[in-house]
Amino acid sequence: MYREKIIDIIRKNIIYGLIKPLTDRYKIIYWYLHGKHIPPPPAIKQKTVKKYAKKFCIHTLVETGTCLGDMVYSTRNIFNKIFSIELDKILYKKTKKRLEKLNNITLIQGDSSELLPEILNHINEPCLFWLDAHYSGGFTAKGNLETPIIKEIEHIFSHHISKHVILIDDARCFNGSNDYPTVHYLKKIVRRHDKDLEFKIRDDIIRICPKIQVIKRN
């Protein structure tokens, strides 16, 4: 039994430590060579989160929509603290077991539109928010709305820290149907909060962040 357990640990480490990075790289290259179709592969989304964390020197990730925990696992060595909220109880239990040995990750079960303020009460520094609590059929859970994005954004903007970075997945869905606001309406909310925030869409990800000031040398 002990020998089998050791073999299983080694096998998992090989898969996640060697094979998975190579597979992700192949998927990224394939995606670029075939026209960057929408939606992009998960590896592109994870790469984007890591890029923005580095760009803005952010050490805390707050995610809504944990699902199987791929995003938080991929970024576990990028952030000092990670908070992730999952609505579905089965997914929450499964992912909690998968990530139970990672001390910098806190998983919370429930509705992100209700629980996000509780997390924000413990935040005293700029965070990166990966907002992905969108109902997408299959094994994903649905709350009162297909997406609680408006309430999530309002909670973030009411926080005393104003330099958060917000990345929202599935930009293609923001067309005014199925509880999704339009991109135009979402942009109005952002501008109402801070007209100087950068708002753009790339690779099916809505990106809301402070503008980087470039200092010109004489």
Domain spans, the chain: 55-209
- Residue 120, burial from CB neighbour count under 10 angstroms (0-12, 13-18, 19+): buried
What pLDDT is stored for residue 205 in this prediction?
A: 98
* Sign of the dihedral through C-alpha 93, 94, 97, 103: negative
- Neighbouring C-beta atoms of residue 31, cutoff 10 Å: 16
Q: What is the pTM of this model?
A: 0.84
> Residue 9: pLDDT above 50?
no
The set of residues, in sequence order, having a beta carbon less than 8 Å from that of 135 and lying 6+ positions away, is 141, 142, 143, 146, 147
> Residue 213: pLDDT above 80?
no
Topology of the domain comprising 55-209: Rossmann fold (3.40.50)
- CB of 180 within 8 A of CB of 149? yes
End-to-end CA distance of the chain: 68
What pLDDT is stored for residue 86 in this prediction?
A: 96
pLDDT tens-digit series, residues 135-144: 655 556 656 6
- Neighbouring C-beta atoms of residue 205, cutoff 10 Å: 21
Helices (H) and strands (E) in the chain, counts: 8, 7
The torsion region of residue 178 among left (phi > 0), alpha (psi -120 to 50) and beta comes to left
Lowest mean per-residue pLDDT among 18-27, 106-115, 128-137: 18-27
pLDDT tens-digit series, residues 68-94: 999 999 999 999 999 999 999 999 999
Question: Stretch 47-57: mean pLDDT, rounded?
Answer: 97
CA distance 98 to 178: 32
Which residue pairs, CB below 8 angstroms and at least 24 apart, start in 123-126? 123/60, 123/62, 123/159, 123/161, 124/161, 125/59, 125/60, 125/161, 126/56, 126/58, 126/60, 126/161, 126/163, 126/164, 126/165
CA distance 195 to 80: 30
> Residue 208: pLDDT above 80?
yes
Question: Stretch 167-187: mean pLDDT, rounded?
Answer: 96
What pLDDT is stored for residue 111 in this prediction?
A: 95
> Residue 174: pLDDT above 50?
yes
In the predicted model, what is the mean pLDDT of the chain? 86
Confidence label for 7 from pLDDT (cuts 50, 70 and 90): very low
What pLDDT is stored for residue 118 in this prediction?
A: 95
Q: 131 pairs with which residues across the strands? A: 64, 168
Residue 141's closest CA among 186, 98, 204, 85? 85
What pLDDT is stored for residue 32 in this prediction?
A: 74
- CB of 151 within 8 A of CB of 113? yes
